[in-house]
Amino acid sequence: MSDAFVSVTGLSTHLGSDARPIRAVDGISFGIEKGETFALLGESGCGKSITALSLMRLLPASGRIMSGEVRFGSQDLLRLSEAEMRVVRGGGMAMIFQEPMTSLNPVLTIGAQVSEALRVHPRDTATTDVKHVLDLLHAVRIPDPEKRINEYPHQLSGGMKQRVMIAMALAGQPDLLIADEPTTALDVTIQAQVLDLMKQLQRQHGMAIFLITHDLGVVAEMADRIAVMYAGQIVEQAEREPFFSRPCHPYSRKLFESLPTMGKRHQALHVIEGFVPSLQTRFEGCRFAPRCDRAMNECHERAPVWHVAGTRKVLCHLYTRGEGVTRRNEPLSVPMSVDSATRLAAEPGPLLEVRALQVHFPIESGLFKRTIGHVRAVDGVDLAIRSGRTLALVGESGCGKTTIGKSILQLIRPTGGSVRFDGAELTSLARSELRRRRSDFQIIFQDPYSSMNPRMLVGDIIAEGMKAKSAGATPERRRARVERQLQQVGLAADSAARYPHEFSGGQRQRISIARALAVEPKLIICDEPTSALDVSVQAQILNLLRALQAEFKISYLFITHNISVVSYIADEIAIMYLGRIVESGTVGDVLLHPQHPYTQALLSAVPTLDSETRRQVIRLEGDIPSPSNPPTGCYFHPRCPKSMDTCRQRYPRRSKISEQHFVDCHLHTRDESHPGGLKR
Amino acid sequence: MLVLFWTDALIFLLVGVVVVFALYARRREHLRTPWRQVARSGVAMGSLVVLGFYVTIGLLDSVHFRSALHTNGDHDQVQYANEILSVFDWLAAPLRARGEKTYSAPFAAYLYAKQTIDLPDGRQQRQFPRLKYGARHLHHPETEKTADILVTAMFAAGKGLVVWGVLCSALIAGLGKRRQQTFRSLYARMCAGRTTTRWRSMLFTLGVLIVIAFVAADLSLKYHIFGTDKVGEDVFYQALKSIRTGLVIGTLTALVMLPFAVLLGIMAGYFGGWVDDVIQYLYTTLSSIPGVLLIAAAVLILQVYLDNHADEFASAAERADLRLLFLCLILGVTSWTSLCRYLRGETLKLRGSDYIQAATALGVRHFTIITRHILPNVMHIVLITVVLDFSALVLAEAVLSYVQIGVDPTMNSWGNMINSARLEMAREPIVWWSLLSAFIFMFSLVLAANLFSDALRDAFDPRLRVQG
């Protein structure tokens, strides 16, 4: 691998104290060729980011590189002085981070920040600074760079900020761009824009990209070669096509199998039991062995060695023994006991019916708090969920999904419309009456770390709802129910006496589910319950949610931006844009035959694993407008590739495509003025 | 007969609260962890020992009684002395009783002022007379004094070291028994500073303090180690008596202010709307009034009341105590605003958090949410603020007494000592020891409190907490 442009050999990085170091990176080797995209794939806590920081020598204070060699061109980076390293950073290799919100200095203008990067790595002196900055902003396709150059980071959207970060990284004309989860914080349509931009810049400048991600879809879209990292080690290296057609390492295969897709709807997802081991442990055999269903005695006793076949390398005993290839494609699906099809005709009337729901937040200004406008977070939404069914509410960030969830629960009082739940109008209930009914509808939050009071025992957290409901009269009976609840969500009964911080993210999400279940709700609002979790843990939670639904006939309102999760778990789907629902219907109808241009764009922007059947990405320009000042007419028309004159003037009426499939779009309205409304 | 002043009662209430909290926290991991981190800081543990010394003296000085008089005779009824004493007064009786005529310098054998003395031969002469008590045992103070001081100090230090050694051995043996370690291994680990709780710093500070205490005690029996004041009272005794005043101001004020700040702050943040508006206007208004002005007005009104109703009080000490309590109240009323503001902000942040939303969704009542979810999560702010405020309040007492709106002039306090030093510094030759001793005592208390609160802040403030 010594001929590669960047070659890393036996790199080991430790964090924390010397006595019990965290071996975040434990002897990894790889090479990156000029101009290629090399992706490092793995779950959180595997040491991906520390690998990148080790390359840049930007480790946190407690981190240190124990051994190894990082060759960058002709230099050995680990032997350079700090002063020489500074020239390499930015000049030779540049880095962009996950969180564009915090990577820019909020008190400096965009121009000042980009030109700072330029001053550190000056090019030719003929052109002026400003000209350079404009060129760079132009290169990363920021519209209207002459104006943007004087704006501050808070005036830009997340996608714009990430472009500015890329512009700063490009300022030094690097040969290697390290991108640490560059699009994880962005919406799908914006992610598509940024990935597209990165690919284009790579072609123009011929730089190599070292892409770190946990998202198989992004890898499929971007990477030329892939390394899979697990517990501080690389376990598999391959080129893209062979990797996606047949992943070799059991871990890689499990990752694919735990991805939710529409095809797996009628079965339970395959899960990787347990979680990534602590990197403080000293490993005896294969690190994946405790979670591997193919583990043999040998796996627990001896660390595996690399098995090389052409461009592929895999670190697994199965291959060194020649077994791996033969048993690769066995069926792994586990049939689900209750099929969603049999639930279809479960109950006729809707459990929850939302009509013309409005949530407007006043914008106040001045000394006397005069209302000068409204943020129309939710602007006339109709929804209906039947008992035992799952409705997915899909949309990009800022479109009002979470506000809908909270206003159904009356955590935010809606400003208009009606919420009928099980025959009662929630918006007009008296407070005490509402409190009594609250146990019927519960919520599960996105962030498993902030959704529980850190100062309460798990048992008390779960029992809280019972106490409020005065269920389980005696403490003994309550304790028994808490234990039953914990077992139901797959946790040990003795978890009750521990604090939330002792649990991993997935386990905490189980506790949240147990807390909601403890009051026997009929409806649970799941507000992005898996988006903070790794793929394998996400599969565990999705399976759990489905099993609980089958057992207790609970309805879910599933709020998410993740289309693959929707396609797996939902029965019906509603697509939201800027506070309104633009298309709704059954999952099959909407996902397979999207009618609204926004739905079409959204679906096409989702990175797909299968490179053969990849759809043409419909690129949306610009960002989501502000809900305080929505565009006239159809809210989507400024970004819509098919917008017409009517779109600018009137908001479209609802049109019926089929019995359950509705869409708000002028393309589908058949009124008098546009007899040929369907001009696609 | 025990006499219970208002401040005594409140102090023991406070001690009770602290003990109950400590017992409660022992069983709760999340409360114990930050205290363990405090215990790992050597500076904090050293400061804690110093604070412990002060608190011990303050508590001893807070148990008041009237001693029984020896009745001569026939009826059974026991007569009690008019004078109200504390346990500390009783312990320090030799210091209290040995009044000189007027000023004398530290370790002096003669008065600081010339007086006309009748000589045995009938002549009169102006000279510095010998002190009644200070250095009385010496025949020729000029030649003998230095050696005597050194010898006494050495002996006292020796005694102190022996006592310290015994204490340390007992402690190590006791700890070793509890943790099932041999005396030797525990001793070796302590000396190397490898224990999780910083016993080495604690024991070292303890040793230094015990030696100082013994030296000071022994010397003060023979000399006035900090001199005497205008009416000949021992300044060392005054400074020790002032400890209680300082501690009362520092702690009771916090006790007064907490209900205001915690209740209003959390209510403002949690309920929002007009509740928030009212509370915000209240504390904004209150904090715009100069604190000194408000305190001056309140204290002067109280003084007028006390003067007009002197017969309602059993003793002057009781009156002075009431004034002290009132000063704590008014200081509390003027100083709750900043904590209230902090708590409002923190509660605003917590109110939006997922677990509060989840509790609301479960139908939990507002009061339960506040006590179960919000209060425990803002407690660290309360603790940090109270400890930080303590030293500021001790200093504030000195300033207020200096401008004569502080504690009663008859009450011993560092502020009063400094106030009287105002005139002493102006006279010729100057009397500097009152000021110096007040300064030394106040400085070491405030320094210890500040160092301790720094460590406390590091341990409790989640933003400063180091991960891993």
Mean pLDDT within B169-180: 85
- Whether chain A has a CB inside 8 Å of the CB on B354: the answer is yes
A308: helix, coil or strand?
strand
Domain B2-64+235-460: CATH superfamily is MetI-like (1.10.3720.10)
pLDDT of residue A2: 46
Does B468 contact A62 at a Cβ distance shorter than 8 Å? yes
pLDDT of residue A501: 83
pLDDT band at A209 (very low <50, low <70, confident <90, very high): very high
pLDDT band at A43 (very low <50, low <70, confident <90, very high): confident
pLDDT band at A329 (very low <50, low <70, confident <90, very high): very low
The minimum CA-CA distance between A406 and chain B, rounded to whole Å, is 9
What would the pLDDT profile of B258-309 be if each residue is shown by its tens digit? 888 999 999 999 998 899 999 999 999 988 888 888 888 988 898 898 888 8
Residue whose C-alpha is closest to residue A513's, from A529, A536, A493: A529
Q: Which residues of B touch A16 (CB under 8 A)?
A: 468
How far apart are the C-alpha atoms of A327 and B102, rounded to whole Å?
104
pTM of the model: 0.80
How far apart are the C-alpha atoms of A420 and A429, rounded to whole Å?
11
Where exactly are the structural domains of chain B?
A: 2-64+235-460, 141-222
Tokens describing residue A504:
């991993």
Q: What is chain B's mean pLDDT, rounded? A: 86
What would the pLDDT profile of A435-473 be if each residue is shown by its tens digit? 888 889 999 998 888 888 888 889 989 988 888 877 656
ipTM of the complex: 0.78
Which residues share a beta bridge with A559?
Answer: A393, A527
Mutate to test the interface with A, among B31, B194, B281, B362 (most CBs of A within 10 A): B362
Distances from the Cα of A443 to the Cαs of A352, A424, A427, B37, in angstroms? 14, 19, 18, 36
- Whether chain A has a CB inside 8 Å of the CB on B33: the answer is no
Does A451 contact B30 at a Cβ distance shorter than 8 Å? no
Contacts of B147 (CB under 8 A, 6+ apart): none
Helix, strand, coil shares of chain A, percent, nearest 5, are 35, 25, 40
How far apart are the C-alpha atoms of B264 and B271, rounded to whole Å?
10
How far apart are the C-alpha atoms of A356 and B424, rounded to whole Å?
82
pLDDT of residue A12: 92
Mean pLDDT within B50-58: 93
Inform me whether the pLDDT recorded for A87 exceeds 90: no
Inform me whether the pLDDT recorded for A37 exceeds 90: yes
pLDDT band at A75 (very low <50, low <70, confident <90, very high): confident
Q: What is chain A's mean pLDDT, rounded? A: 84
The minimum CA-CA distance between A521 and chain B, rounded to whole Å, is 10
DSSP run (H or E) holding A103: helix A100-103
A460 to chain B: closest CA residue: B372
| Secondary structure, 3-state, chain B | CEECCHHHHHHHHHHHHHHHHHHHHHCCHHHHHHHHHHHCCHHHHHHHHHHHHHHHHHHHCCCEECCECCCCCCCCCCCECCCCEEHHHHHCHHHHHCCCCCCECCCCCECCCCEEEECCCCCEEEECCECCCCCCCCCCHHHHHHHHHHHHHHHHHHHHHHHHHHHHHHHHHHHHHHHCCCHHHHHHHHHCCCCCCCHHHHHHHHHHHHHHHHHHHHHHHHCCCCCECCCCCEHHHHHHHHHHHHHHHHHHHHHHHHHHHHHHHHHHHHHCHHHHHHHHHHHHHHHHCCHHHHHHHHHHHHHHHHHHCHHHCCCHHHHHHHHHHHHHHHHHHHHHHHHHHHHHHHHHHHHCCHHHHHHHHCCCCHHHHHHHHHHHHHHHHHHHHHHHHHHHHHHHHHHHHHCCCCCCCCCCCHHHHHHHHHHHHHCCCCCCHHHHHHHHHHHHHHHHHHHHHHHHHHHHCCCCCCCC
What would the pLDDT profile of B408-439 be if each residue is shown by its tens digit? 888 889 988 888 888 888 887 888 888 999 99
* Partner residue facing B361 (CB), from A16, A443, A450: A443
Inform me whether the pLDDT recorded for B446 exceeds 70: yes
Q: Which domains does chain A have, with CATH numbers?
A: 6-245 (3.40.50.300), 247-336 (no CATH), 346-664 (3.40.50.300)
Tokens describing residue B204:
């070292």
How far apart are the C-alpha atoms of B316 and A35, rounded to whole Å?
91
Residue A450 CA, chain-centre distance (Å), reads 18
